[in-house]
Structure 1
Amino acid sequence: MTDLATLGQRIRHFRNEAGLTLDQLGSAVGIAGSQLSLMENGRREPRLSLLQGIAGTVGVPVSDLLSEQPPTPRAALEIELDRMQKSAVYQGLGLPAIRPSRTMPDETLASLVGLHRELARRAREAIATPEEARRANTELRQFMRTQDNYMPEIEELAEEAVRGVGHVNGALTHRSVNLMAKKLGFELIFVNDLPHSTRSVTDLENGRIYLPPASIPGGHGLRSMALQALAHRLLDHQEPSSYAEFLRQRLEINYFAAACLMPLTQSVEFLSAAKAERNLAVEDFRDAFGVTHEAAALRFTNLATSHLGMPVHFLRVGEDGALYKGYENDGLQLPTDVTGSTEGQLVCRHWSARTAFGRASRTTEFYQYTDTPTGTYWCSTQTGTASSEEFSITFGVPFADSKWFRGRETTNRATSTCPDENCCRRPAADVSKRWVHKAWPSAKLHAHILAPLPSGTFPGVDDTELYAFLDAHSGE
């Protein structure tokens, strides 16, 4: 059924066309005129049998009442004004809602809607501030912790998508991803000139999804980017109205892509079998589905608690010790700032996420037990190299669950007392005394810390560059 505001407008339109008052139509279908008024104002949902009675009385098919199109241009403006006055942006101003009367000129109504559109546009431009982004990200991480990082609705959607193209087991192929796109009416096109602020671009007008060149290293990345673009359509995402909504959409499309590349049924079967043999390993999971180590470790966090009965934690840490991604529901105390944000915080030097960088050979996973104030944890860490720096991916569990994993026999053990600063954040007293006030280092500042995001329709995306790209390719 269409939304209630549009439905109400269409009922009112056809009632007026039939020359009936509220009481006359209400009497004909067996309800009070006041109840019918609530329906016309979008405040009450009518039963299907009642809709059939209304349609018969005003002389139109039920499908005309259920159309998603407002009945008139004025009705469209009234619906848009009502929605905008219910938005958090307007309600935050503390101003009363204006209900357009019959005598309000169309020009006045159009001006009110125009003001609201501009208010919303300016609010969107201001949403990508670092502080708001960090707070929104913190709230989303805390929410996912309550869900054990598991989203059953998206799992079901992904299972349906991979079944629909005949995928049964093993790594999801590029051909299967192409078939998914075609089923949704899209063609995957690889180009060399994507806007620098985008990973992919979906042309809704012409049914095209633009991706980086097919020759770039790592097929997993291209499959994932295409699946993320398709997820926006399958999940019926609308243009984000806040940074929190933008982050939630990004999390959902990433989750969908991972759930397609590592489908629920196959993944749980694989992991359950490995657990039964006490031989769980992220690297085996990675290789079974042809994905990156990071993707496999993150996907493991989706399934570990809900399907294997164990709490877990995940970390992506830069070579400087900064935490770029973090999740836990096993009690591991992640470093946070005063807002509760973990991004950019330094993890303890004694955690495997940092000690793994000190190994001479980094081709295999590094295992370590770490005693912390909240308990002892077993961790598996794999290091890698990005375009600009090295990073580590850590997957870990409480000591009691280490028995299910390969590498549990490791003798590597460390003690961490962080967040106590005496653990690893303060130099030894004798060293400090020797060098204090005797050195002046030039700090390396990460450019992204101070640089504002482009303020377009989507946070971080330059609209001017995006639309120029679409114009250039629309005639092909």
Structure 2
Amino acid sequence: MTTTPLDPPEAEGMLDSLTIGRRIRQLRTERGFTLDSLGAALGRAPSQISVIENGKRELKLGEVQRLARILGVSLDELMSQEPPSKRAALEIALERAQRGPLYASLPLPVLPLRKSLSDEAIETILALHDELQRLHRERAATPEEARRVNTELRRSMRHRNNYFPELEAAAKTLLDAVGHAGGPLSQRVASDLASHLGFALHYVGDLPTSTRSVTDLKNGRIYLPVGQASGSDARTTLLQALASHVLGVTEPRDYADFLRQRVETNYLAAALLVPEHSAVAFLTAAKEKRELSVEDLRDAFAVSYETAAHRFTNLATEHLGIPVHFLKVHESGTISKAYENDRVLFPTDALGAVEGQLVCRNWSARRVFDIADRFSPYHQYTDKPTGTYWCTSRIQSTARGEFSVSVGTPFAHVKWFRGRDTTNRSTSTCPDEGCCRRPPAGLASRWEQHSFPSARLNSSLLAAMPAGVFPGVDSTEVYEFLDAHAPRE
């Protein structure tokens, strides 16, 4: 079986809003409207019109239609993606650059778009920005190329709400073939799937350490490890091997092909463990009761919390209309995996890569490590630059250390979840360095000239080199440690 390639990255909605906003501003001026008069005609405050014209809010279709009638233009003309003038095109390009990950990574203030800023000045700034981007690309070694590809893949997954209908259909066909009616997928049914696909299972003690399984296509065998690592699921290893065969996975042409194959095989394996039809019925019933819970999904299908969390992101937006984000964060604070379609702002490097970046210390993905109760889920509201989000987080222990696994959603959708009554609340202004990137002034003054930590660098292929005096080191954490252990006078 073959699958269609992942969709290309979506065009950022903010870019459309910028162009439409500038067109509205030009038409408003030409028609002699003020912010007050246009706001009155639309039934919005003047400040809201300004926000729309600056491209900081997406318009609903009804609002666009009313604006077109008020301004006396066709809907197509108002929604045209062609900038209304050369000046507007320059302002849009500058706004896009300032909202991008490269500019955000620079210690520069936002440059206001005033009339006194000449076209030549904007063109010079844009040329400098383009040159910086070119230098970043030239310096891109293999790890950076891998991270760039991973960034594009994550955008593609966001474009389709992390939902792959062709893989859901493939999972259903396989489960129907072995008569699986629903509920948890047993080890026996997983073995039946292998037999159905023409494979015999062989458990060995000398599997190559760099592999999870080895498939012998010539002799119809799948070799699996005798013992499973702590926290792993024997079914998952087998199902991933079977998924690779079903999807016709071959030697990847490049890193982009490798990552695409990995995403698709993992997705198909999870869709076999947590079948779409049964899971959607389960989640729909829970939503009607306002009792959505990743823990309940985990228990209902006897899978790991991480698998349940991933599967929830596959189905929540497509079937429940709930935008979500997902994070897997190492105890050091670095991101291992991430996904979002709810506009939450993950930390990124200049290339837009998320993996390897430090999560804000005030997010639930970090706060959960400080909670003594590891048996109950941790819930938290966090006020972030893009709005208030509710998250549920859990800790899982692995051979590579402890990780938090978190699922979050905007405040407007928390009404469907169990745990919405939590009193845990925090505020995050990251990527503003004043939020948690800089140690408190008192700590820093006592220790910044009197300490020298040795960093444990992230060796992940996808990990960026985090910024800082000692890359990868959380200075606040180091100073707090020193403060706690320093001899008292």
- Smaller-chain TM-score range? 0.5 to 0.7
User: Is 1:148 equivalent to 2:135 in the alignment?
Assistant: no
| 2:196 counterpart of 1:198 | no
- Which residue of 235, 243, 264 maps to 1:231? 243
* Structure 1 segments (4+ residues) deviating >6 Å: none
- 1:247 matched to which residue of 2? 259
Show CA shifts across 1:318-341 (max 9, x none). Answer: 111001000000010001111111
CA distance in 2, matches of 1:430, 1:128: 39
- TM-superposed deviation, 1:128: 9.5
Aligned partners of 2:380 and 2:391 also within 8 Å: yes
* Contact residue 335 and residue 356 of structure 2 kept, 8 A: yes
Cα 1:446–1:216 shift into 2, 3 Å: closer
> 1:154 & 1:215 partners in 2: Cα distance?
27
Are residues 1:416 and 2:452 paired?
no
CA distance in 2, matches of 1:391, 1:425: 21
* Amino acid of the structure 2 residue aligned with 1:373: P
**CA deviation vs aligned residue, 1:236-268 (integer Å, no higher than 9, x gap):** 222211110011001000000000000000000
| Amino acid aligned to 1:356 | V
Aligned pairs (5 A) from 1:12-161: 129-161=142-174
Alignment of 1:367-446 (within 5 A): 367-446=379-458
Moved more, 233-242 or 312-321: 233-242
With over 3 angstroms needed to count, the CA separation of the structure-2 counterparts of 1:199 and 1:230, relative to structure 1, is same
- Aligned residue type for 1:240: P
* Aligned residue pairs, count: 324
Q: TM-score, normalised by structure 2?
A: 0.64
Note if 1:172 corresponds to 2:180.
no
Contact 1:128 1:243 in 2 (8 A): no
Structure 2 residue aligned with 1:270: 282
Partner of 2:336: 324
Q: Distance in 1 between matches of 2:292 and 2:307?
A: 16
TM-score between the two structures when normalised by the length of structure 1: 0.66
Identity value in percent: 57
Whole-angstrom CA distance in 2 between matches of 1:304 and 1:448: 29
Give, as a single letter, the amino acid of the residue that structure 2 aligns with 1:225: T
What code does the residue aligned with 2:237 have? M
Name the CA shift for 1:272/1:128 in 2 (closer, same or farther; >3 Å): farther
CA distance in 1, matches of 2:220, 2:281: 36
Deviations 1:290-343 (A, max 9, x none): 000000000000000000001000000011100100000001000111111101
What's the offset of the Cα at 1:179?
A: 1.2
1:183 pairs with one of 191, 196, 203: 196
Local SS of the residue matching 1:422: helix
Offset of 1:216 from its aligned partner? 5.2
Counterpart CA distance in 1 for 2:382 and 2:166 is: 36
| Alpha carbons of structure 1 residues 413 and 140: separation in structure 2 relative to 1, 3 Å | same
Consecutive unaligned residues in structure 2, runs of 5 or more? 1-139, 464-489
Q: Is the 8 A contact 1:145 1:329 kept in 2?
A: yes
Q: Secondary structure at the match of 2:435?
A: coil
Structure 1 residues 418 and 153: CA distance shift in structure 2, 3 A? same
1:34-89 deviations in Å (ceiling 9; x for gaps):
xxxxxxxxxxxxxxxxxxxxxxxxxxxxxxxxxxxxxxxxxxxxxxxxxxxxxxxx
> Conserved in 2, the CA contact under 8 Å of 1:280 and 1:406?
yes
Would the alpha carbon gap of residues 224 and 230 (structure 1) be closer, same or farther in structure 2, given more than 3 Å must change?
Answer: same
The counterpart of 1:207, out of the listed 220, 238, 247, is 220
- Map 1:308-387; keep pairs closer than 5 Å: 308-387=320-399
1:72-116 deviations in Å (ceiling 9; x for gaps): xxxxxxxxxxxxxxxxxxxxxxxxxxxxxxxxxxxxxxxxxxxxx
- Specify which of 297, 305, 310 is matched with residue 293 of structure 1: 305
Provide Cα deviations, 1:363-387, integer angstroms capped at 9, x if missing partner: 1100000000100000000112111
3-state SS of 2:400 partner: coil
Classify the secondary structure of the residue corresponding to 2:433.
Answer: coil
Query: Contact 2:144–2:462 (CA<8 Å) still a contact in 1?
Result: no
Q: What amino acid maps onto 1:355 in structure 2? A: R
Equivalent AA in structure 2 for residue 437 of structure 1: Q
Cα distance per residue 1:380-408 (max 9 Å; x no partner): 00112111311100001100110000000
Which of these residues, 163, 170, 175, is aligned with residue 162 of structure 1?
175
What SS does the aligned partner of 1:392 have? strand
Looking at structure 1, the residues matched to 315 and 462 of structure 2 have their Cα atoms a distance apart, in angstroms, of 37
The Cα shift of 1:449 comes to 6.1
Report the alpha carbon displacement of residue 431 of structure 1 after superposing the two structures with TM. 2.1
Change (3 A) 1:411 1:133: same
Shift of 1:217: 5.0
Using the alignment, how far apart are the partners of 1:265 and 1:380 within structure 2? 24
Moved more, 338-347 or 426-435: 426-435
Aligned-partner Cα distance in 2 for 1:442–1:372: 32
Structure 1 residue 183, shift from structure 2 partner: 1.4
The code of the aligned residue for 2:283 comes to L
Residues 298, 305 of structure 2: 8 Å contact kept: yes
Quote the Cα distance in structure 2 between the aligned partners of 1:450 and 1:271.
33
Tell me if the contact between 2:356 and 2:458 (Cα under 8 Å) persists in the aligned partners: no
Equivalent-residue separation in structure 2 for 1:379 and 1:428 (angstroms): 26
* CA displacement at 1:450 relative to structure 2: 11
> Following the alignment from structure 1 to structure 2, what is the Cα–Cα distance between the partners of residues 448 and 373?
29
Q: Which residue of 1 aligns with 2:314?
A: 302
- CA distances 1:209-254 after superposition (whole Å, capped 9, x unpaired): 1111156556x62111111111122112222111100110010000
Q: Rg larger in 1 or in 2?
A: 1
The amino acid of 1:177's aligned partner reads A
Deviations 1:6-38 (A, max 9, x none): xxxxxxxxxxxxxxxxxxxxxxxxxxxxxxxxx
CA distance in 1, matches of 2:339, 2:163: 12
